[in-house]
Amino acid sequence: MKRPSFRRCGHAHGAMSPEDQAVIGQVRAMLTAMRNPQPWTPGHAQDIAVRVGPFIERAQPRPGDDHGPDLIAVALRHPDTPHAAAYLHGKKLGYNNRGWLRCETAAILGTWQPAYAMLTHAAADLPLPEDVGMAPAHYGVHVEARRSDNTGYTLLRLGPYFQTWLASRDADRLNTELAGRAATVLPAFTLTAKDAPFHVSEHESYTDPYDADIAGLLAAAIAGVSA
């Protein structure tokens, strides 16, 4: 019986095309990267590799909000970012417009390496799932108490807001409230409300602003430090 022989896409038996060699090289690089992940250090503005189900995705930590021991804020990125084609492909697959997300540090594999790209949804031309296992980490409002030398503290934190305009609206409302009672608030301090990123690593210090009397929350915070 004649034993069948298997050939590679039109090449002689046993020959390896440049395309085959490139794929094998990518696989070897990926396996090396998986065995030897590069440690990620918070605050270094480095993209990270995070686990999303059985896949690995590229994520950008939010500056200033990447120091939490358990949670940080990230935005998922197409593996070929910042190229224009990657933006269009990422939009098609659901990478764009997800905003900032809460990422458990236990899901971080390490610093992003190009070799991980073949393990992403994008490489498989699959859309990201609706539930990527990360809750939104959007925006907040901080009421800051500052002395003339710019020292001070944060009096009140509201959040998370899921839309920036809501955070800006509440900041304006609080500033109007503060302007009306500036002389009786806190002596030697200037109080200002401003919209800011929601610091997910400090989520326990925030008060949920939805269905809440934010003016009442401000008055209670002021009363608490004035007592």
Give the integer Cα–Cα distance in Å for 209 and 213.
Answer: 8
Rounded to 5 degrees, φ, ψ at 208 are -65, 120
Least confident span in 68-72, 84-88, 218-222 = 68-72
**pLDDT (0 to 100) of residue 227:** 61
For residue 186, pLDDT beyond 60: yes
Give the integer Cα–Cα distance in Å for 114 and 121.
Answer: 14
For residue 5, pLDDT beyond 50: no
**pLDDT (0 to 100) of residue 29:** 59
- Which conformational region is residue 199 in: left (phi greater than 0), alpha (psi within -120 to 50 degrees), or beta? beta
Rounded to 5 degrees, φ, ψ at 57 are -125, 155
Give the integer Cα–Cα distance in Å for 112 and 81.
Answer: 12
Averaged confidence pLDDT in the chain? 84
**pLDDT (0 to 100) of residue 51:** 95
The pTM is what? 0.62
- Strand partners for 197: 139
